[in-house]
A and B are shown apart, each in its own frame.
Chain A
């Protein structure tokens, strides 16, 4: 078999190129369709692992502390992400509760666990057990993890309710905002570089 390691195929138009070494802030674009071929990966394994662990702690805060609380005429109420999933689960719309649970809670934590697992072994320059499976799941989960949408949703809800009653953003909301940004950085496509380095 011929070696194909040095080749890169544009996923948008099937053009074949040779891989190049990129400097900071550089991206390689396909000359035919303009799609991104390679992006500079600014994170070392250590940094990515550290950020993954941080994100895992933030996930705990985002899920176990209320995203916000409201008060109306002396009555108080607060809701976590899980409470909002449960609010959807009642009645004929149960299916949406499952989608919301995957998008806001399940997909992000599985992504984080897989990252921590794969990267801890990568730290010792080894492939973790079930490396292939983990890497494939990281690819599959990416489009279904919607924490940044969740963050915008929480902010819109604050405004929606602010007219009716007193709204107090909770610890969960702050954790959510940092977590959603972190996840974009660490769970992106550049995880694929592990295939080449390990």
Chain B
């Protein structure tokens, strides 16, 4: 197949900060245009991505088990978890809001865990399977990245508003800390992953070319 040449073969390197194509003949450490450090590939990409991903998976458990909010209305106390909030909306017939919260808080982190694990494992095995689709999957993970912050913001706003002492009071609880950490760590994980690794299996490509030419 006729594809464009790779930057590495032309001795070029992409600057991630300004998008400049840097000439690597003199082995510069910084981009000549913006001064950002240059790496042909993100440093320790796989290890870092795994580390952040595993950390966020661990935090996902307390994020869903611990209460995120404490509501006291007219003397009666109740603690609610994230899934509890979704169910509450669902039971009140507000299925659309329930769906938004469910997607943002439970589905999006779940999709990110599955997608990033899939990307990491296939890259480590040097797989040639569905590379274009995997590139797209990575861009999708980047796109949905921060929408999980939704619940943190909802809890913050609601807690700031409902402050009527004895009549009614809403306070944030530890669950929201772990939940926010899940979001931050999955974002860091996605940022550490280098999508160019998906296309980096020259050895197997050469072997296949060799077989084809024979």
Contacts and interface: CB of A to CB of B under 8 A. Distances in A.
Interface of A: 1-2, 4-5, 7-17, 30-35, 67-70, 72-73, 75, 77-79, 83-88, 90-93, 95-96, 99-100, 103-104, 132, 135-136, 139, 143-144, 146, 149-150, 152-154, 156-157, 159-161, 163-165, 192, 195
B119 to A, nearest CB: 12
B21 A143 contact: no
Contact of B135 (A1, A12, A99, A159): A12
23 contacts: A4-B23, A7-B12, A11-B196, A12-B196, A14-B14, A32-B199, A33-B131, A35-B135, A87-B156, A87-B171, A93-B174, A93-B177, A96-B172, A132-B34, A135-B18, A139-B16, A153-B151, A157-B158, A159-B89, A160-B97, A163-B92, A164-B168, A165-B168
B145 interface: yes
A11 B14 contact: yes
Given A4-B21, A33-B199, A95-B177, A15 B161 contact: no
Contacts, number: 221
Interface in B136-187: 136, 138-139, 145-147, 149-164, 167-168, 171-174, 176-177, 180-181, 184, 187
B187 A149 contact: no
Contact of B163 (A4, A77, A104): A77
Interface in B101-142: 101, 104, 131-132, 135-136, 138-139
Contact of A14 (B17, B150, B156, B199): B199
Nearest to B18: A195
B19 interface: yes
Contacts of A33: 131-132, 135-136, 195, 198-199
B4 A32 contact: yes
Interface of B: 3-8, 10, 12-14, 16-23, 25-26, 33-36, 73, 85, 89, 92, 94, 97, 100-101, 104, 131-132, 135-136, 138-139, 145-147, 149-164, 167-168, 171-174, 176-177, 180-181, 184, 187, 191, 195-196, 198-199
A79 B161 contact: yes
Nearest to A73: B167
B90 to A, nearest CB: 13
Contacts of B162: 70, 77, 161, 165
A16 B12 contact: yes
A31 B154 contact: no
Contacts of B196: 11-14
Contacts of A88: 152, 155-156, 159, 172, 176
